[in-house]
Amino acid sequence: MPHFIRLLILALVFMPALSTQAGDVKDTDVYARLKKQLDAVPAIDTHSHLGGPGNMKHFVEHAFRGEQPKDCALRRVWNTSYFTWGHNLAPWPADHRFDTWWTAAQADFNNSRARSAYRAMLPIFQDLYNVDFESLTLEQARELNTRMEKNLMDPDWADEVIRKRANTELIVVDSFVMPRQVRGHHPFAVSACNVRWLINGFHPSEFSRFPAEDPYAFAAQHKMPVESLDDYVAVVDRILAESKKAGAICLKSQTAYDRTLQFDRVAKHRAEEAFGKPRNELKWGQVKAFQDYLFWRLAELSAKHELPFQIHTGHAYIQGSNPMNLVDLIQANRKTKFILFHGGFPWVGETGMIALRCPNVWVDSVWMPVLSYTMGKRAYKEWLDMFSSNRIMWGSDLFTVEGTYGTTMYTRQCITEALAEKVVAKELREEDALRIGRQILRENALEIFPSLRKLTKENKTMSDD
């Protein structure tokens, strides 16, 4: 055989192997096997803002009453996604016509094709509607929107998309309130107790715009005095107890949007300076001291009521949302289970370091792959290098059924890709990658929120036997 033909045969034999190595892990058999098995894991989504079943109907009802539409389903699904954070999306036009909106929106989509916040939404169109969003004609877009609006009216749509298609079994929903009673939720949803309001309880006027969240009204209802800071802390304690009774499984703080996460350990007398005074009579330092004091009490009460503390870190008030700001609080409250949200994005390495040093820290990757898929994948790999795999979780973090589907599938892909890369690089056995994927998608949530276990099908089947 001539030498050049032998070389050609050799090249043909080895080329596919070389190109697989240098190429996309998603083209490998390892990825395909992991993806198939991990997609079959009924996931537990630890953070969402999904509205209840009645939430969407009113939005499309105008069409059935023959009124001019105020928006459309396709625009709404994008507008309530993270696509619009810091980026434009053409507003609903004055002529109320879909065609006008779609034509104007094209430039916004074109400028975002590479963004993860855009790409995270593509599985919606590809899987649920079988259309390629990136090459839609005006006619196809119009038809897609009509199909989406029909689905909004279908009472079984949420169950079909979330339970059957995304294979999510349970979702922890943060409705931005402190739940007092379970109401208006999907059957697969459980509540987080949002505590953002409580740290501002130095004066009742803080709650005039949010009467349902007013701890002073709660105190009056329960005949509890609020004459002193100690009284106020006792009211907060009672609110958490009632929230737990109403089904809340954790506390959630989004304070990182409003101020720094540097919560100092302040003496009671400093917090007392603000108590009973309206904000306009206080300096920021006094307000901060009160908030810091309350945040420390919330950390203690989180342990007392066995309600793990979900804390938004990263990507908020960026001058102060680095999770490193929380380390003193975390280390002084060893019995509290702190869950650092969003992986501290973009401080994902710092978050890994905190988890490495503090056994009372869990890391929730919620939102992270949607902010940057590349950083998300890197973070999963670095965290698995750094700390034990039973302390990582995920969440979808969106408001609509379809948005929830998009971010869920995108996150499932990111987790699987990170694990497959470790297997291909011979840093992890495939059976361990599978077990770890199952932990991140499901088991870790059941471990930190044991009350969820009784709500799972697995448990119900076992107790039926």
**Contacting residues toward Zn ion, per CB under 5 A:** 397
For the bound state, the minimum distance from the C-beta of residue 186 to Zn ion, rounded and expressed in Å, comes to 17
Cβ nearer to Zn ion, comparing 45 with 397: 397
Can you tell me the distance from the alpha carbon of 78 to that of 125, in angstroms, rounded to the nearest whole number? 12
For the bound state, the minimum distance from the C-beta of residue 197 to Zn ion, rounded and expressed in Å, comes to 16
A 10 A CB-CB count for 167 gives 17
Can you tell me the distance from the alpha carbon of 392 to that of 356, in angstroms, rounded to the nearest whole number? 12
Cβ nearer to Zn ion, comparing 213 with 397: 397
- Name the E strands within 6-89: 43-48
Q: What element of type H or E holds 98?
A: helix 98-110
Which of these, 175, 189, 369, lies nearest to 254 by C-alpha position?
Answer: 175
- DSSP per-residue letters across 122-146: HHIIIIIS---GGG--HHHHHHHHH
Cβ nearer to Zn ion, comparing 254 with 262: 254
Can you tell me the distance from the alpha carbon of 118 to that of 401, in angstroms, rounded to the nearest whole number? 16
For the bound state, the minimum distance from the C-beta of residue 50 to Zn ion, rounded and expressed in Å, comes to 11
For the bound state, the minimum distance from the C-beta of residue 47 to Zn ion, rounded and expressed in Å, comes to 6
Distances, alpha carbon 400 to alpha carbons 50, 81, 113, 154, in Å: 6, 8, 21, 14
Residue 180's φ and ψ, nearest 5 degrees, are -110, -25
Cβ nearer to Zn ion, comparing 232 with 362: 362
Cβ nearer to Zn ion, comparing 387 with 410: 410
Cβ nearer to Zn ion, comparing 350 with 397: 397
Cβ nearer to Zn ion, comparing 9 with 318: 318
Cβ nearer to Zn ion, comparing 151 with 396: 396
Cβ-proximal residue to Zn ion, closest one: 397
338-341 and 309-312 strand pairing:
parallel
Can you tell me the distance from the alpha carbon of 439 to that of 418, in angstroms, rounded to the nearest whole number? 14
For the bound state, the minimum distance from the C-beta of residue 341 to Zn ion, rounded and expressed in Å, comes to 8
Can you tell me the distance from the alpha carbon of 83 to that of 95, in angstroms, rounded to the nearest whole number? 24
Can you tell me the distance from the alpha carbon of 156 to that of 165, in angstroms, rounded to the nearest whole number? 12
Cβ nearer to Zn ion, comparing 273 with 397: 397
For the bound state, the minimum distance from the C-beta of residue 366 to Zn ion, rounded and expressed in Å, comes to 7
Can you tell me the distance from the alpha carbon of 406 to that of 128, in angstroms, rounded to the nearest whole number? 10
Q: How many CA within 13 A on the CB side of residue 210?
A: 17
Q: 183 in helix, strand or coil?
A: coil
For the bound state, the minimum distance from the C-beta of residue 256 to Zn ion, rounded and expressed in Å, comes to 11
For the bound state, the minimum distance from the C-beta of residue 447 to Zn ion, rounded and expressed in Å, comes to 22
